[in-house]
Amino acid sequence: MFASHSSASFDQWLGNILKELANDVQKALRENLIALILGGGYGRGEGGVLIENWLEKPYNDLDLTLIVRNPSIVSQENLNLIKLNYEGKLGIHVDFSRPLTPAQIRAWPNILMWHDLYQGHQVLSGKNDILSLLAPKRIYSSLPLIEATRLLLNRGTGLLWALRILRGCEKTPDPDFIRRNYFKCALALGDSLLITFGRYKVPYSGRDLLFQKLSSENQKVGFLALDSLYKEALCFKFRPNSTSLNPSTENDILDIVQKWKQVFLLVENERTRRKWIDLDTYCRWSGLREPSLSLPHLWIKNFVLNRRLNLWSWRYPRELLYPLLPQLLKPKEEISLVSWKESSQFFLSVWNNFN
């Protein structure tokens, strides 16, 4: 099963196409391929399904992880041809991961991406238990709290990108970009709090009940009044046209920005055990958000990375994103649009390389 909220015929149709895709990847990589793994919503069996003209269509990206013997001989040109072919058939983006070796999987850190992939995936080619055989035990444990912060950073970046589109800085990648990033952020608000307070579970189904329980038991979370928004975001995740909400304006994005700021401050206060009274105070703080990435033995490497950005710093470049993003997520009347365009573009270029 690829989409729990779909018909059996949709699942069969998608399954047949994925078999074709796996065969094409096997032909392209031959004996170099160890496994092809489907992750994301469809890998969990909870992918999104859009209904248009009474027809069911896939909505989410197709997230594919490659495990190979030798990454250096993988033909990106051949993979790109497969990608384009199946994007045409499915009408959604098809994303292949950077090819991974078994040794790289054994060294996986416990981050949200690998944590979710391990606990929710389907093997399209190769041994069904390949990840159980290779993934380290730390992947099974609770997520470190920095993953809540990183999730909010990424979804807040989606809001910044949406503001750039609405303010005429660039064209939208697709017609549903604004609405999709609104709901992705809404989902992340609840997920980040579930991670922070040790309640996060990989399956989407039932997360609304987990969040409702957290909200009723934790006064700080309950004060945010996010239950209905989080439930709506889960509805959108399963069936994008099942929700009546249609956020499309700058005011819609700025409304959820305010909720993002409240959650971000709460998560960072809980994670760091500090008590910033507001985000301005947080942004002025000169300390490290991710100390493990800026240890002395990494200073030279970080210095080189920063020089490529025309910066002088020994800190890992992502450090500058945490205090910068809240300052960029502001209404037009609180910014100079010319300098905001430049600063937001710089932010996105750094984020694209170090998110």
| pLDDT tens column, 286-320 | 999 999 999 999 999 999 999 999 999 999 999 99
Mean pLDDT of the chain: 95
Do β-strands 122-125 and 94-96 pair in parallel, antiparallel, or remain unpaired?
A: unpaired
Return phi, psi of residue 62, to 5°: -95, 110
Is residue 310 situated within a structural domain? yes
pLDDT for position 341: 96
From 84, 110, 140, give the residue that closes a domain: 140
Residue finishing a domain among 106, 140, 174: 140
Same domain for 153 and 132: no
Do residues 121 and 154 share a domain?
no
Q: How confident is the model at residue 52 (pLDDT cuts 50, 70, 90)?
A: confident
- The residue type of 324 is L
Segment holding 52, helix H or strand E:
strand 49-52
pLDDT above 90 (res 6): no
Q: 243 pLDDT band (50/70/90 cuts)?
A: confident
Do 121 and 187 fall into the same domain? no
DSSP for 64-76, written as a single string: EEEEES-GGG--H
Q: Which two tokens stand for residue 268?
A: 């960072």
DSSP conformation letters of 178-220: HHHHHHHHHHHHHHHHHHHTT---S-STTHHHHHHHHHHH-HH
Examine residue 242 and state whether it is found in any structural domain, yes or no: yes
Percent of the chain with pLDDT over 70: 100
| Tens-place pLDDT, residues 181-229 | 999 999 999 999 999 999 999 999 999 999 999 999 999 999 999 999 9
Token pair for 198: 């040790």
- Please indicate, yes or no, whether residues 167 and 90 belong to a single structural domain of this protein: no
19: CATH: 3.30.460.10
Domain presence at residue 1: no
Whether the per-residue pLDDT at 45 is higher than 90: the answer is yes
In this structure, are 103 and 172 located in the same domain?
no
pTM exceeds 0.85 for this model: yes
Q: What is the mean pLDDT of residues 26-36?
A: 96
CA distances from 261 to 216, 329, 345 (A): 21, 9, 20
| Residues 310, 205 share a domain | yes
Provide the domain limits for residue 121. Answer: 8-140
Q: Give the per-residue pLDDT at 355.
A: 87
pLDDT number for residue 1? 86
Instruction: Examine residue 3 and state whether it is found in any structural domain, yes or no.
Output: no
Domain match, 219 and 87 both: no
Any domain includes 81: yes
Evaluate if residue 60 carries a pLDDT over 90: no
Do 39 and 130 share a structural domain? yes
Chain centre to alpha carbon of residue 252: 21
Q: Are residues 171 and 299 in the same domain?
A: yes
126 and 215 belong to one structural domain? no
The Cα 148–Cα 267 span in angstroms is 7
Q: What percent of the chain is modeled with pLDDT above 90?
A: 92
Pick from 63, 62, 132, 122: nearest CA to 102: 132
* Structural domain contains residue 67: yes
Mean local confidence (pLDDT), 168-190: 95
Within a domain: residue 2?
Answer: no
Residue 291 and residue 158 share a domain: yes
- For 162, which DSSP code? H
DSSP state for residue 63 in the 8-state scheme: E
The reply to whether 86 and 173 lie within a common domain is no
| Structural domain count, the chain | 2
* CA pair distance 164, 76, nearest whole angstrom: 31
Of the candidates 112, 140, 168, which is a domain's last residue? 140
Q: How far apart are CA 253 and CA 262, in angstroms?
A: 15
User: Across-strand partners of 63?
Assistant: 95
Q: Is residue 161 part of a domain?
A: yes
